[in-house]
Amino acid sequence: MKNLSKIIALLSIFFVTHSCGIYSFTGASIPAGASTFSVDYFPNFAPLVQPTLSQIFTDALKDKFSQQTSLRLNNSLGDLHFEGSITGYSVQPQSIGANDQAAQNRLTISVRVKFINEFEPENDFEQTFSRFYDYNSQRSLSEVEAEAIEIITEALVEDIFNKAVVNW
């Protein structure tokens, strides 16, 4: 009898948290009634343009919401909607070593995001997110670029996801 009451309690918790669509075990707080999300293509308006970055970033943002929420991707305006652009892509020396030469370089990517929440407009935002990747100046950007873009994109998408639906 004791085990039966534990099972009923666990099932009750599961159905309450799962069926209302308010909480997911990833920490996302999705508004009740929301069933779709949409992500517009993020064009690259940075002064220095990396040709594949727009597609990589847009796909990563779509993938994050597809994998971490129960929302369906919608091609038109979704219940949760993202739009914006890549506004910065730059490399700058970060630390100086011997002979006044750069010892490290930093690749920085900035993305302007507008988020619209149809069910909770008070959570809408428009914000610029930036992340960077430091690398040894003995290596060229082309040697580290793919890895750097992957790491930076993952961090940017995580920041955007947290701002939009985690609300901690």
Mean pLDDT of 6-15: 49
94: pLDDT confidence band, cut at 50, 70 and 90?
confident
Q: Look at the domain 35-166 and name its fold.
A: Double Stranded RNA Binding Domain (3.30.160)
> Where is 12: in which H helix or E strand?
helix 2-19
HSE-up of 47 (CA within 13 Å, CB side)? 3
Mean pLDDT of 39-55: 97
The reported pLDDT for the residue numbered 99 is 66
105-135 per-position pLDDT tens digit? 999 999 999 999 999 999 999 999 999 999 9
Q: Which two tokens stand for residue 45?
A: 């308006």
DSSP H stretches of helix in 34-75: 53-68
43/24 Cα distance (integer angstroms) = 31
49/65 Cα distance (integer angstroms) = 26
Mean pLDDT of 82-91: 98
Axis-axis angle for helices 141-161, 53-68 (nearest 10) = 40
List, in sequence order, every beta strand (DSSP E) within the chain: 36-39, 72-73, 80-96, 102-117, 125-136
pLDDT at residue 36 tops 50:
yes
Is the model's pTM score more than 0.85?
no
